[in-house]
Structure 1
Amino acid sequence: MSELAAAATATSPGPGPRAVTVVTDLAEITVPWMSGALGPAHSGPDLIGVSVVQIGQDSGHLGTSARVSLTYTAGRTPGPETVVVKMPAQSAESLETARRGRLYEREVRFFTDLAPHTEVRAPGCYGAGYDEEHGTFVLVLEDVEARTECDQLLGCPPERARQVVRELARLHASWWERPSLREHPWLTTFLDEARIRNMSRLLEQGWPLACARLGDRLSPQAVEIGELVLEHFDQVMRMLDEPAQTLLHGDTRLDNVMFDAGVARAPVVLLDWQNVSRGPAVAELGYFLAQNLTVQDFAEHLDALVGVYCDELAARGVVDVSPETLRGTLWQALPVTFTVAAAMFVMADLSRPRALELAAVMTERAVGAAQELGLVAALATLPTTPGDIG
């Protein structure tokens, strides 16, 4: 286990990730391929064996991940004992969704272009490859071990949520209104037409399925709220381009967060950067709080957590964001929250019990946050546009 993820900023092993030939099947992770991915500094001729085990099948990720155990010549261990390899999803629906959203390109480019310059704890990256023609990718990442795990199904304890919002503030402050962020056109924004179409499609398809599947677990207003979100989806996305822009992780939920991680016990490490984007901080903060706190904790601790976030921003030089203003605009994050929940009913394998329960709690929390933040009243103030979720 290296100390990469425990560093003050995201780092990679050496000058940057090595260029790696893209593989799309776990069987292609061989000794020669891994030796090339790690390079002479981390394997040399001493790597003699690999053992591949798939992981993360129930985490809701649009990809395939594996933990690879590495065996070296007796008496020599020049590289890591294990690494994590990420590659494309195997299902056609998930693969097409990832391609439409350019998710694989974005994650690769985060690690190659932005991670070394970003105040955030993320796994170190040994090797990266992206096949633009086929929209496929591969990443060889540090295997970060968490000493404390929080299950998204159970909800994030408020004390752990405070750690996450501080980490988000570090990330956001490091790119707050920096003009150079716009020099990376591969970073999607909330104005991206393809992104709006893709997310609208998932919401339109998935929300009725969620409401039908979950029935009495949801508020009687769930269908109506979903209809309003779809009706005003385009408008809210465009509103999110107006505030100060920064770098967003894009999918900060507990399945993508590790606590007390690495040998130096980093408080928080953020995984899975497929949704990295440019946008306002309110979109990320609202998404994390709505998707990861229980409905009760969201209501009880929301104001305090917004205050913690603003305090950390101020400590890092961003002093013009007040808790009151931020709290008043958090509802703008909820259409994305609804869409992510709805997408689970379109793309996830709901025959797996944990995947179904994850989809259920994500949907319940989206509706609960909408009621707590007055989403219906806020959307009612916006002009009407055509839309139908039925």
Structure 2
Amino acid sequence: MGQEQLQVIRRADPAWLSQVLGIRVEGFEADVIGAERGFVSTTTRLRLRTDPPGCGPAAVVLKSESANPVFQGLSRKLRAFEREVRFYRELAPPLADQLPRVHGCSDGDDDHWLLLDDLSELRPGDQVRGLSQDEVMAVLRRIARVHARYWQDPVLESRPWLPAHTYWFTGDFSAVLPAFERDYALRLGEETMKLIRAAVASNDAIEAALRRRPWTLVHGDLRADNLLFGGSSADPVATILDWQTATRSLAAIDVVFLIGGSEPVAERSGHLEELLELWHCELVAAGVDGYRPQEARRDLQLAALRCLNVCLRVYEFLQDPAAPPRVALLNDTELQRHAAAALELRAHEALDALTG
């Protein structure tokens, strides 16, 4: 594949790679990976030819902005690359054993890229297929350590690039609701639609409630397509990628987003309580004090209300006639999983508490 077809890697010439890596790169072969998985970025594997052979990594991964104008616009609105680059520079060091090594990153406003270790030996998660119960448990163990490390840590408040409670699914979706209801009411059922309508109407109250709860570092897009797995299928080890939507917010958002968006309903049936208990126990074991199980449950219900916005945001994405088939299937699947999770978590109890 020639570089004329890969506009997003136009800077990846041998001289540039040599400078970034501190070795002599004579050439490389490039392949775009995950083309239908990463929405706000493009990821390219570069297989390197070095002099002498073997003096550096055999391959690296270059992550840069999406060539899709819709997702590039979303990326810039969210300041996604600034958030991810700053995350790796300023917040990732204590978490280094859980993350890919960073070989280099951009430092300008108009040139956004990260050069990372190639982890192609690991198994990628698949959002459409979904995650197994064991895989979800592995991710919860990982993310709980992140949550615990930065639980109410003032260092997060001192980072101006890290927004509070800002997600790609934040917003007022009242204008989208009628069309959404027309297309999905029959499939989701009246109980679910009643909850979605109430959550949209209570958007400001939900936002205010989030801001009153304990906060930490939150991934913000914790789903199967942003995960890699090592180990066996029965005992997987998770690596969490794509920190472009990192935010300071309610930890339970990550939990609900993961379970609600990535674990098929049939797979999590009968196991939801086990997952929630695991996450809370991992937090406590990692040093989070005074966070009672009943508080965690109410936070998970509040998070489920906020994650109902995902249903409406991805419905907007579904209106793009140019969306590849996998993206359309992914959005439709994610929408229905999140709606089901809100019912399973009895999110209406948190809504009743907000609205009186």
Q: Structure 1-normalised TM-score?
A: 0.80
Residues 297-352 of structure 1: per-residue CA shift (max 9 Å, x gap): 44411111111112222222224223333123312112442333433343476642
SS in 1 for 2:116: strand
Query: Letter of the aligned partner of 2:19 in structure 1?
Result: G
Displacement after TM superposition at 1:160 (Å): 1.6
Task: For 2:148 and 2:276, locate their aligned partners in 1 and report how far apart those are by CA, in whole Å.
Answer: 15
8 Å CA contact 1:88, 1:138 repeated in 2: yes
Question: Which residue does 1:99 correspond to in 2?
Answer: 76
Deviates more, 1:237-246 or 1:64-73: 237-246
Task: For 1:89 and 1:206, locate their aligned partners in 2 and report how far apart those are by CA, in whole Å.
Answer: 25
Displacement after TM superposition at 1:371 (Å): 1.3
The counterpart of 2:259, out of the listed 262, 265, 289, is 289
Question: Which residue does 2:10 correspond to in 1?
Answer: 27
SS in 1 for 2:98: coil
Could you list the runs of 5+ residues in structure 1 that have no partner in the other structure? 1-22, 385-390
Displacement after TM superposition at 1:127 (Å): 0.9
Q: After the TM superposition, which residues 1-390 of structure 1 pair with which residues of structure 2 at under 5 Å, given as runs?
A: 25-38=8-21, 40=22, 43=23, 46-73=24-51, 75-118=52-95, 121-132=98-109, 134=110, 136-190=111-165, 199-200=170-171, 203-204=173-174, 212=182, 216-260=186-230, 267-347=237-317, 351-383=323-355
CA shift in 2, pair 1:89/1:148, >3 Å: closer
SS in 2 for 1:131: coil
CA shift in 2, pair 1:208/1:121, >3 Å: farther
Residues 163-220 of structure 1: per-residue CA shift (max 9 Å, x gap): 1111111111111122222111211112x6xx69x7215x456665655555654334
SS in 2 for 1:155: coil
8 Å CA contact 2:144, 2:283 repeated in 1: yes
Question: Which residue does 2:3 correspond to in 1?
Answer: none
8 Å CA contact 2:304, 2:345 repeated in 1: no
Could you list the runs of 5+ residues in structure 2 that have no partner in the other structure? 1-5
Displacement after TM superposition at 1:365 (Å): 0.8
Displacement after TM superposition at 1:146 (Å): 4.6
Q: Structure 2-normalised TM-score?
A: 0.87
Task: For 1:60 and 1:164, locate their aligned partners in 2 and report how far apart those are by CA, in whole Å.
Answer: 19
Task: For 2:96 and 2:15, locate their aligned partners in 1 and report how far apart those are by CA, in whole Å.
Answer: 34
Count of matched residue pairs:
346
| Bigger relative CO (Cα 8 Å, ≥ 6 apart) | 1
Query: Letter of the aligned partner of 1:244 in structure 2?
Result: P
Task: For 1:143 and 1:237, locate their aligned partners in 2 and report how far apart those are by CA, in whole Å.
Answer: 38
RMSD: 2.7
SS in 1 for 2:15: helix
Displacement after TM superposition at 1:363 (Å): 0.6
CA shift in 2, pair 1:102/1:158, >3 Å: same
CA shift in 2, pair 1:140/1:178, >3 Å: same
SS in 2 for 1:267: strand
Query: Letter of the aligned partner of 2:20 in structure 1?
Result: A
